């Protein structure tokens, strides 16, 4: 999704802007641009379709220099990814802007401004903002007043960075609905969509709140809140280092992140379990009371996080005896709800900035839920700040668009939450101790499964020429089949669908032939015999199976049924472990196909627009 970087300094800012954009590449984008104010007070701009490297090439061929600048990676929403639609947008060489979000009333504003005689050079919603600001400047406003007046008229979501040639040394930032941080340097300031962009230049950040407008100069920062009053926002020091978001020795971030999972899961458990039980304080001081009082759970999330929620439903109901509903946020937010008393509202999000999940949380706040709980990977995110209870996953920065370690740490945090809630619902101490023991074994088990990578890489070759695939699971493994299918389609562009295996006979069996691989997750659980019968249905129709199972559950390997054996694992933690081979399979198929593994086409990491 769009990324913003901007700087006001004494030194040359173009290299800072380009490095910041490179660090935001993971968010997903299709064009990039930067504008700087040069020593002669002229706004100079480069824009390029495609990768940030194309922009860097334009900059090296014809360098533009200055100590005030804004830059952007664009993920197209209004208008195709062309140079004319790329940001920064400018009006009359006077003012330049970068924008993340969507301006919903852009057509009405464009109509007004066109009628007033202003020309437009792009198809974007953003351009109306810069033209409207220019209009205010022409009427005598200074840059801050102009941004205030224009943002007051905007409907939708935005994070903005604005500079003008009439006010060298001044950068205005505004935030409503899209994330934006201010980086504090020594005698210099920066803004960015994400702290990762600025880690080479600072680790001190101010997180703008909803409705804030920041008036930023090299040596001064003034923030106005949504009501227009001056406010102080705390400066927070990030614990991330500049190399936290680098690939290390790996070919792709996704490979690095798959390999980091045992450590990330271990860190997510750290300090939250003791003597065979979960410490509910891990979710905050009110956690024991609120979880104890909860009688139902509503989970809301998107994408991979939604799949984690689907697994958690099995756990909430079977371990804690709590009825649990799970819904994708984009649906939840737009329908009426009947909220039963004492329902806990639980959001799951790696980024904590997904527009639909955030909007669902805000919607839920007026609906009478007992409390809101966020399970999230980014401590300063909007979701964390706006929830009553928080359980942080400790995955570290996840850069690959296809989520891996964020998912397994979400499952870890969810199981901790379920156990904390189950205590007051009568879960026996011995059962809790068994499950805590199963959690403790996970890091070692994950390493063992990651160790199967060379064999999974070998299997991947069979998929390279396939166009369709089917993933099967039953019970809590069905969401894992969904996650496996999502991984494969996201990064290899092979159509992949997941089905609960018992549903095969109601439709998908019609598709089965030797050309459509059927991948199955089959640990030794209560449903495995039923699952095996479903697999026979596939084999009887000439289908080719790839089954991940343990020794006790593995079907007989045959020419049409390949079996990969995983270590035995407790039934409750099995979903976590069975995710790993599916991630590795998708990764190696994508590598063999030569796709852009970390930034698959058309997708974004952090979906901050609706
Ligand atoms: C995008 C990403 C997915 C992610 C989803 C939800 O689609 O590409 O990997 O699962 O957003 O993101 P969140 O940050 O809310 O977990």
3-state secondary structure 69-121: EEEEEECCCCCCCCCCCCCCEEECCCEEEEEEEEECCHHHHHHHHHHCCCCCC
> Quick one: how far is CA 359 from the chain centroid?
15
pLDDT at 9 over 90: yes
> Quick one: how far is CA 262 from the chain centroid?
20
* Residue 236: DSSP 8-state: E
Q: Name the strand (E) or helix (H) holding 434.
A: helix 429-450
Copy the structure tokens of residue 104.
């919903």
Q: What 3-state DSSP class applies to 288?
A: helix
State the Cα torsion 575-581-582-588 to the nearest 10°. Answer: 160
User: CB atoms < 10 A from the CB of 437, how many?
Assistant: 13
Give the tens place of pLDDT for each residue, 155-169. Answer: 988 999 999 999 999
Q: Which ligand 1 atom is nearest residue 406's CA?
A: 16
Q: What 3-state DSSP class applies to 208?
A: coil
Q: Are 17 and 67 in contact (CB under 8 A)?
A: no
Confidence of residue 232 (pLDDT cuts 50, 70, 90): very high
Say how many Å lie between the CA of residue 601 and the centre of ligand 1: 15
Q: Are 155 and 103 in contact (CB under 8 A)?
A: yes
Q: Averaged over 87-114, what is the pLDDT?
A: 95
* Mean confidence (pLDDT) of the chain: 94
Please report the pLDDT score of residue 372 as a whole number: 97
Q: Averaged over 513-540, what is the pLDDT?
A: 91
Poorest-pLDDT segment among 34-48, 198-212, 527-541: 527-541
Greatest CA separation for the chain = 80
Q: Which ligand 1 atom is nearest residue 604's CA?
A: 8
Give the tens place of pLDDT for each residue, 274-289. Answer: 878 898 777 777 888 8
Give the tens place of pLDDT for each residue, 348-407. Answer: 999 999 999 999 999 999 999 999 999 999 988 899 999 999 999 999 999 999 999 999
Residue written as tokens 């400018």?
Answer: 90
Give the tens place of pLDDT for each residue, 170-213. Answer: 999 999 988 899 999 999 999 999 898 999 999 999 999 989 99
Confidence of residue 554 (pLDDT cuts 50, 70, 90): very high
- B/e letters for 141-156, b = 16+ CB within 10 Å, e = fewer, are bbbbebbbebbeebeb
User: Among all residues, which ones are annotated catalytic?
Assistant: 2, 605
Q: Are 316 and 422 in contact (CB under 8 A)?
A: no
Q: What 3-state DSSP class applies to 176?
A: strand
Give the tens place of pLDDT for each residue, 561-590. Answer: 999 999 999 999 999 999 999 999 999 999
pLDDT at 29 over 90: no
Say how many Å lie between the CA of residue 562 and the centre of ligand 1: 32
Residues with CB under 6 A from ligand 1: 302-305, 349-351, 354, 357, 401, 403, 603, 605, 607
Instruction: Count the alpha carbons within 13 Å of 146 in the hemisphere toward its beta carbon.
Output: 28
Most confident of 279-293, 320-334, 522-536: 320-334
pLDDT at 508 over 80: yes
Backbone angle region of 163, left / alpha / beta, with phi > 0 → left and psi within -120 to 50 → alpha: beta
Of 303, 483, 491, 601, best ligand 1 pocket probe by most atoms within 8 Å of the beta carbon? 303
- Angle, alpha carbons 207-213-218 (nearest 5°): 75
């Amino acid at each position: 999704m769009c990324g913003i970087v901007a700087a006001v300094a004494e030194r040359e800012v173009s290299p800072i802007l380009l490095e910041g954009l490179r660090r935001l590449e993971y968010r997903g984008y299709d064009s990039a641009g930067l504008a700087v104010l040069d020593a002669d007070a002229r706004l100079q701009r480069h824009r390029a379709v495609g990768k940030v490297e194309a922009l860097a090439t334009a900059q090296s061929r014809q360098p533009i220099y200055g100590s005030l600048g804004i830059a952007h990676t664009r993920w197209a929403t209004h208008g195709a990814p062309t140079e004319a639609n790329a940001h920064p947008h400018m009006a009359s060489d006077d003012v330049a802007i970068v924008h993340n979000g969507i301006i919903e009333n852009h057509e009405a504003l464009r109509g007004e401004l066109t009628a007033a005689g202003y020309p437009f050079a792009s198809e974007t919603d953003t351009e109306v903002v810069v033209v409207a600001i220019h209009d205010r400047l022409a009427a005598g406003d200074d840059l801050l007043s102009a941004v205030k007046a224009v943002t007051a008229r905007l409907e939708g979501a935005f994070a903005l960075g604005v500079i003008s040639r009439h006010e060298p040394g001044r950068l205005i930032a505004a935030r409503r609905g899209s994330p934006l941080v201010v980086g504090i340097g020594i005698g210099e300031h920066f803004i960015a969509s994400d702290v990762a962009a600025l880690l080479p230049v600072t680790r001190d950040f101010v997180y703008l709140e909803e409705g804030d407008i920041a008036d930023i100069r090299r040596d001064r920062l003034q923030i106005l809140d949504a009501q227009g009053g001056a406010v102080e926002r705390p400066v927070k020091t990030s614990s991330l280092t500049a190399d936290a978001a680098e690939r290390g020795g790996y070919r792709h971030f996704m490979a690095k992140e798959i390999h980091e999972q045992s450590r990330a899961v271990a860190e997510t458990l750290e300090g939250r379990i003791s003597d065979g039980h979960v410490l509910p304080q891990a979710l905050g001081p009110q956690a024991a009371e609120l979880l104890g009082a909860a009688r139902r759970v509503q989970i809301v999330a998107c994408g991979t996080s939604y799949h984690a929620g689907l697994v958690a439903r099995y756990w909430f109901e079977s371990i804690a005896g709590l009825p649990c509903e799970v819904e994708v946020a984009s649906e939840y937010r737009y329908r009426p709800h009947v909220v039963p008393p004492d329902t806990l509202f639980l959001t799951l999000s790696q980024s904590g900035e997904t527009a639909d999940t955030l909007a669902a949380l805000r919607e839920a706040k007026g609906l009478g839920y007992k409390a809101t709980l966020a399970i999230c990977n980014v401590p300063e995110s909007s979701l964390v700040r706006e929830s009553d209870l928080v359980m942080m996953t400790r995955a570290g920065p996840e850069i690959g668009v296809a989520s891996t370690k964020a998912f397994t740490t979400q499952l870890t945090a969810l199981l901790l939450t379920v156990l904390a809630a189950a205590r007051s619902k009568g879960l026996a101490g011995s059962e809790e101790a068994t499950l805590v023991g199963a959690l403790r074994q996970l890091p070692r088990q994950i390493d063992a499964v990651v160790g199967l990578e060379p064999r999974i890489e070998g299997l991947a070759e069979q998929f390279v020429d396939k166009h369709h695939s089917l993933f099967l699971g039953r019970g809590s493994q069905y969401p894992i089949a969904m996650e496996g299918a999502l991984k494969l389609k996201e990064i290899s562009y092979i159509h992949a669908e997941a089905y609960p295996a018992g549903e095969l006979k109601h439709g998908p069996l019609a598709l089965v032939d030797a050309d459509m691989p059927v991948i199955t997750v089959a640990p030794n659980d209560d449903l495995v015999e039923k699952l095996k019968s479903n697999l026979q249905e596939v084999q009887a129709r000439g289908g080719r199976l790839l089954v991940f199972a343990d020794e006790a559950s593995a079907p007989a390997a045959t020419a049409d049924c390949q079996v990969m054996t995983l270590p035995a694992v407790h039934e409750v933690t099995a979903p976590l472990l069975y995710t790993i081979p599916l991630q590795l399979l998708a990764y190696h198929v994508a590598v063999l196909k030569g796709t852009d593994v970390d930034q698959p086409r058309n997708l974004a990491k952090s979906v901050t627009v609706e």
